[in-house]
Amino acid sequence: MSLVRTPDERFEHLPEYDFPYDRVTVTDDGAEMAYVDVLGDGAETFLCLHGEPTWGFLYRKMIPRLRDRGRVVVPDFLGFGRSDKYTEGDEYGFEMHYETLRRFVETLALDGVTLVCQDWGGLLGLPFAVSDQPGRFDRIVAMNALLTDGKTDLPDVWHRFKDVVVSADDLDVARVVDGGCVSELSDGAIAGYNAPFPDEASKAGAYVWPPMVPQTPDMPGADRHARLRGDLAAWEKPFFALFSDSDPITNRFRDLFRELVPTAMDAPDVWVEDAGHFLQEDAGEVCADRIVEFVDRR
């Protein structure tokens, strides 16, 4: 087992992401998750969870607007961003990520939370918020999220993406993000997405996350999503399926959530236009405005 930490100097001078950060120990072997914690002007608490292969930097365009309504907490999952990274892929697993999320939330004693989640942020955050600790969460915003109980087929484009990642000899993380956007990444954004990964060993978590997505009922995490499906059907708190119009990986899940969750139809029936899989990057300000409007509806 080998833990590494990306040097702080790689994160210097990143555009729009100079917020102070802290760390929380989330494993018995001492691995720490880094997180940004921005105090705002209102009473809300937003927990923003990223996916593959990004980190909290993905939410930089949304934080200024969300902080108008309160506190914004943006962690980096282990293996990403400023968080500690295992250099061996077999140290990662669905349950490892799930339990570190639990320890993170419990250590910070987050309560009255609006969950904002996308990609793996939803794979982990949705079962945690809906099935595990619903008392902590007041609302959910599912952004380009998936329901992976092992019985719901994933699109062919996702399988192609997974194959590209796992077969790469030298994974170009920023290129992966750029390929999932409608707009072209700026030089600053490219630097930001590459910053956490100074070498191949540090990318172990990014390599193994795609094949870890539950694809059959016997895979780790599929049972949590099978339970999630039932619990979502009984969810009575506000739920907003906020999806982009140009993401072939997740777009069909938008209507699945809207039809499954009783309160989802109460939220606006909208698509985020001109945005791909990483809608926070393509249209972060628009997404944040939509979320603030959703929160203000009470």
pLDDT at position 42 over 80: yes
Average of pLDDT values for 69-90?
97
CA distances from 111 to 50, 137, 296 (A): 19, 7, 18
What six digits make up the tokens of 151?
């019985």
The separation between the first and the last C-alpha atoms of the chain, rounded to the nearest angstrom, is 46
DSSP states of 18-61? ---EEEEE-STT--EEEEEEE--SSSEEEEEE--TT--GGGGTT
Into how many domains does the chain fold? 1
Q: How far apart are CA 65 and CA 62, in angstroms?
A: 6
pLDDT digits (tens, 9 = 90+) for 264-275: 999 999 999 999
pLDDT digits (tens, 9 = 90+) for 184-222: 999 999 999 999 999 999 999 999 999 999 999 999 999
- Provide the residue range defining the domain that includes 78: 3-296
**Residue 273: alpha-carbon gap to chain centroid:** 20
288: domain CATH number? 3.40.50.1820
Looking at residue 148, its pLDDT comes to 95
pLDDT at position 95 over 90: yes
In which band, very low, low, confident or very high, does the pLDDT at 255 lie, cut at 50, 70 and 90? very high
Average of pLDDT values for 103-115?
98
pLDDT at position 85 over 90: yes
pLDDT at position 128 over 90: yes
Average of pLDDT values for 121-150?
97
The reply to whether 119 belongs to the active site is: yes
Average per-residue pLDDT for the chain: 96
Residue in 119, 132, 149, 282 annotated catalytic: 119
**Residue 120: alpha-carbon gap to chain centroid:** 5
Looking at residue 1, its pLDDT comes to 58
Which residues on adjacent β-strands are paired with residue 34?
Answer: 23
Looking at residue 10, its pLDDT comes to 97
pLDDT at position 100 over 90: yes
Residue (of 35, 28, 107) closest to 71 by Cα position: 35
The reply to whether 13 belongs to the active site is: no
Residue in 76, 97, 277, 282 annotated catalytic: 277
Looking at residue 152, its pLDDT comes to 87
What share of the chain has pLDDT > 90, as a percent?
A: 96
CA distances from 272 to 177, 275, 285 (A): 18, 6, 11
What six digits make up the tokens of 205?
């978590």
pLDDT at position 66 over 70: yes
Helices 222-232 and 251-260: crossing angle in degrees, nearest 10, is: 50
pLDDT at position 171 over 70: yes
Looking at residue 187, its pLDDT comes to 96
Q: Token match 């009255």: residue?
A: 112
In which band, very low, low, confident or very high, does the pLDDT at 298 lie, cut at 50, 70 and 90? confident
The reply to whether 247 belongs to the active site is: yes
In which band, very low, low, confident or very high, does the pLDDT at 63 lie, cut at 50, 70 and 90? very high
